[in-house]
Amino acid sequence: MPRAKKDPSKFVFQLKITLRGSKPPIWRRVLVTENTTFAELHDIIQIAMGWTDSHLHAFEVDGEPIGIPDPEEGFEVLDSSKLKLRQFVGEKSKFSYLYDFGDSWDHIIVVEKVLPVEPGKQYPVCLTGKRACPPEDCGGIWGYGDLLEILANPRHPEHKSMKTWVGGKFDPEHFDLNEVNQVLNS
């Protein structure tokens, strides 16, 4: 993830990112600087959640779509690379992040706290999280539920093919905080 040379931020936002409709909830808690752009936040979410950045995305803040402008497609959004979080959100703000317009992985993001920057601390950082990110292209939250049922039932006719499709083993409870932070800080 490309880093700015010097970030003059005085504050960080503690964000809780939850995959809407996941039961039990799949979520991450991250700290990002106030000067983080929405484009950078997209990259942070991709890493923290475990997505592969293979699909389109968009944020929505107070009814304003924020993403990658594409005039040819008529998809009018505010340019995520030019907009900083501090311009749109503050403590207790809620906004959404939609990843993969086909599978519709909808995330709700809550600004839980606004904190002072800690000198010497590197941002962004993932503080904690729960559960594995669903595999890409499994059909959204409903398809993910079906996938988990199939993987849990060795007698299901699709068990073998789905197990192969997920790479042999998939643990829906797995979340590796150290791995996420290594990638965020590389």
What's the pLDDT score for residue 186? 86
Nearest to 27 by CA among 8, 48, 42: 48
pLDDT in tens, 129-172: 999 999 999 999 999 999 999 999 999 999 999 999 999 989 99
Find the CATH number of the domain harbouring 63.
3.10.290.30
With a cut of 80, say whether residue 4 has pLDDT above it: no
Domain that holds residue 43: 11-132+174-184
Instruction: Report how many domains make up the chain.
Output: 2
Asked if residue 108 and residue 162 are part of one domain, the reply reads no
Tell me whether residue 2 is in a domain: no
Of the candidates 44, 47, 29, the one whose C-alpha atom is nearest the C-alpha of residue 127 is 29
User: Does residue 3 sit within a domain?
Assistant: no
Q: Quick one: 162 and 116 in the same domain?
A: no
Write the pLDDT tens digit of every residue in 94-112: 999 999 999 999 999 999 9
137 plus 126 within the same structural domain: no
List strand residue ranges (DSSP E) for 68-184, in order: 78-79, 94-99, 105-116, 125-130
Chain segment 34-46, per-residue pLDDT in tens: 999 999 999 999 9
Read off the amino acid at residue 3: R
Q: Is residue 34 part of a domain?
A: yes
| Domain-embedded: residue 27 | yes
Residue 1 lies in a domain: no
